[in-house]
Chains A and B, each alone.
Chain A
Amino acid sequence: MAERDVMEVDVLFVGGGVSSLSGAIHLRNLIEKHNQKVAEQGEGKTLDEVMIAVLEKGPYLGAHSLSGAVMDPVALKELVPDFSEKGAPLEAEVTGEEVCYLTKSGRLKAPIVPPPLDNHGFYVISLSKFTEWMGTLAEEKGIDIFPGFAGVEVLYDGDKVAGVGTGDKGIDAHGEKKSNYEPGIDLRAKVTVFGEGPRGSLTKSLVKKLNLDEGRNPQNYVVGVKEVWELPEGRFAPGKVIHTMGYPHKSDTYGGGFIYGMKNNRVSVGLLTGLDYADPYLDPHREFQKFKLHPMVAGILKDGKIVQYGAKTAPVGGYWSVPKLAFDGGVLVGDSAGLFVSQKIKGVHAAMKSGMLAAEAILQALIKEDYSAAQLGSYEDALRQSYVGKDLYKCRNFHQAFQGGLWMAMVKAGFQYILGGKILSDRLPAEADFKHQKTVAEVYGTAAPSEEQVGNLKFDGERTFDKETDVYHSGTIHEEHQPAHLKIPDLNICYTTCVEKFQNPCLRFCPANVYEMKMDENTGKKGMHLNFSNCLHCKTCDVKDPFENINWVPPEGGGGPKYSVV
């Protein structure tokens, strides 16, 4: 087997999202300050030529970044005090807010905005655009950004993380090398920061191997499905923020909708669906399309045009699901660390702050030349003491409280906010999302529910779209001649237990129609067909498969969505 090339860097950030970029920028700033101090005081050692690299599987920074989003600017103000002069692409400051409960045809507006959802002083942003902008700041600071390269394996020296191996390029569907085959390389680093976003593929294997989740709750996820629309002039004010609960979700499904006013008459509209849902016929993309048909939402979107579509998971397990964050040779940041504050529906500031705190620990590690878990552990201590840690602790039982359904949860959520987080016992347990899956028979009382029972929808192509049309609006594209990147260890399960119990829910929970049962003309039987080039890299399948029978690994670098305004 040919030896792979090795490239040494000092600090490697895996994933080019806001947590990694904040970390990289802050680290560079800290190193400059440190060197200045050494020069002024004439003592200590400078840190020279520290190579900071960011690895990103998307074709450019922001291509795989997606969120609602309303951002608390607290971390931005710390990292880039002159963010306004530097042209931070903020859509609008939040002007008006509304929380409502939707019924099929009506709505109940909450008389006050529940405190966790008070967004005053916050900004509506496009995470994709914001990430791209942070990338330009990082490049100006001499940080080496490598878009189009996927990390496919964690490198270890014994139990110490030593870096990441990138994927080969130019392999055809049969695993053979094409004429432009380019082998991946081993990127070795003193410290590796994992900022892969929700359900990171490397983070997943790393947490398992190093037992970082010992004694913690398993992580739980929502999938957010959204579209950006362009509306008639003046229809929806920039900075107007609406959050909804209720329709289209039944009371036993976690999640809710959002509508955020952007500038230039654009609006972000989306629906979050908790992946611990029980109904095997639930389809998060379809539920989002239904959301758009609700009279309130339809009225907002009338005569508008879709601009972009996308979907992504977000970690909602909260405080008790956060794994151990520091280990020999590395740390976890952002959504890979599960730092999303689900009660406030905010993760961007938490991701940024975690990157910055990681940078502070890494600076000390570089000075002391000590990259051990003990040394890097100062990051985790700092995080717990920070506003991120405090926020997470305060709503530590928020998601678990929803086990009894929406109403019970709202009661509990109200109480826990007042009581500073305690609900009955101090820590509520949780189970992995896929374990909540009920069978078709359990939910419908029959093995073959009707279209109507299941809640299927005919898409009109104007207000609602089928998955293929939506995927087109995400700019998603992959090199067609490569092996499918959705690894199914036991295909037999799909044709036996899964279809018997659940009717293959992957056909429905994927917001991109990657999974299809196609009639094989030769055998006359249906076979699993993977439209892998539709993949939005959202990770829903990796989370929700009831048998943990789908393993999402990165496809050839550079492929995937091409988000720009979501």
Chain B
Amino acid sequence: MNIVVCIKQVPDTEAQIKVAGGGKSIVTDDIKWVMNPYDEYGVEEALKLKEAQGGEVTVVGVGPKRVTESLRTALAMGADKAVLVEDANFYGADPIAAAKVLAAVIKGLNPDIIFFGQRAVDDDAGIAASAVAEYLGLPQLSTVIKLEIADGKAKATRPVEGMTLILEAPLPVVVTAQKGLNEPRYASLPGIMKAKKKPLEVKTLADLGLERADKLEVLALTPPPQRAAGKKIAGETPDELAANLAKALNEEAKAI
């Protein structure tokens, strides 16, 4: 099977995010970058599929040179090849612009299945995967927590509000991975050593005949409002606590 996984490099979850002067982007010096956590489920599922049914896993990323590190992590986990479309200014691009680039790369790889994380944890957009599916004319199975591939078809389990959907689509298909799909494996030391020798192709937008064409523009980026400190309700007995809580909810929070 020809398996492709798309990954995005995002700020580390523990990074303190600050808005840059200009109010339209974040300060990126001093930030540590990691593979988008949802993409890890995509990489793991791809590797499990390869182990079960044979084939090759290619991992694709777009962005500045530092994205190489996350691609190497995927290679260390067991992916076979990587492709980086390198562009120093690509971080923060309109997800449709990113999807155009990814689609151009993926087309040449002839995949049976393409994995994404269900959304990126920095912009929470969740658009690129659907856009890629659209550009390539493929069906999409999204926020998947269980996947079975057999007889040229993909069967996916997907939780929605109040119920679970079971969906089926013929290959090739785009799948976006949700937490619970699997437990991503650790990159082992031997894996990291092997990864150094695996092919990592670097292309530019020009190589693909593309130009950056963002249609969405960020107008303003503001941090969330400061949360007021929590208040501890005074009281010794459950009755006292309940009375004081009710009073606070009524008088201070005006909730009841």
Contacts and interface: CB of A to CB of B under 8 A. Distances in A.
Q: Do A and B come from the same complex?
A: yes
Interface of A: 5, 7, 59-60, 129, 144, 146, 148-149, 166, 169-170, 178-180, 182, 185, 187, 307-308, 461, 475-477, 562, 564-565
A5 B186 CA distance: 15
A307 B15 CA distance: 11
A565 B15 CA distance: 12
Contacts of B188: 5, 182, 185
Contacts of A59: 32
B89 interface: no
A185 B189 contact: yes
Interface in B154-193: 182-190, 192-193
Interface in B1-42: 12-16, 30, 32
A129 B30 CA distance: 8
Nearest to B33: A60
A461 B154 CA distance: 53
Contacts of B52: none
Nearest to B73: A148
A170 B193 contact: no
A144 B193 contact: yes
Contacts of B184: 180
- Which of B16, B190, B229 is packed against the most chain A CB atoms within 10 Å? B16
B14 A475 contact: yes
Contacts of A149: 189
A179 B32 contact: no
A56 B151 CA distance: 45
A281 B189 CA distance: 44
Given A477-B14, A562-B12, A170 B186 contact: yes
B186 A307 contact: no
Given A170-B186, A180-B185, A475-B16, 20 more contacts: A5-B188, A7-B189, A7-B190, A59-B32, A60-B32, A144-B193, A146-B189, A146-B192, A148-B187, A149-B189, A166-B189, A169-B186, A180-B184, A185-B189, A185-B190, A307-B16, A308-B16, A475-B12, A475-B15, A476-B14
Interface of B: 12-16, 30, 32, 182-190, 192-193, 229
A564 to B, nearest CB: 5
Given A146-B192, A564-B32, A180 B16 contact: no
Nearest to B191: A182
19 contacts: A5-B188, A7-B193, A60-B32, A146-B192, A169-B186, A170-B183, A179-B183, A180-B183, A180-B184, A180-B185, A185-B188, A308-B16, A461-B229, A475-B14, A475-B15, A475-B16, A477-B14, A562-B32, A564-B30
A71 to B, nearest CB: 19
A187 B15 CA distance: 32
Contacts of A146: 189, 192
A445 to B, nearest CB: 31
Contacts of B14: 475-477, 562
Q: Give 10 closest A-B pairs by Cβ, nearest first.
A: A475-B14, A182-B186, A180-B183, A179-B183, A169-B186, A562-B14, A180-B185, A564-B30, A185-B189, A182-B188
A5 B185 contact: no
Contacts of B32: 59-60, 562, 564
Nearest to B189: A185
A380 B190 CA distance: 33
Contacts of B185: 180, 182
Give the interface centre of B13, B30, B183, B189 by most chain A CB atoms within 10 Å: B189
A166 B188 CA distance: 10
B30 A5 contact: no
Contacts of A129: 30
A475 B34 CA distance: 14
A145 to B, nearest CB: 9
Nearest to A179: B183
A540 to B, nearest CB: 22
A187 B193 CA distance: 13
A258 B49 CA distance: 56
Contacts of B189: 7, 146, 149, 166, 185, 187
A178 B185 CA distance: 10
Nearest to A63: B32
Nearest to A556: B186
A18 B229 CA distance: 40
Contacts of A475: 12, 14-16
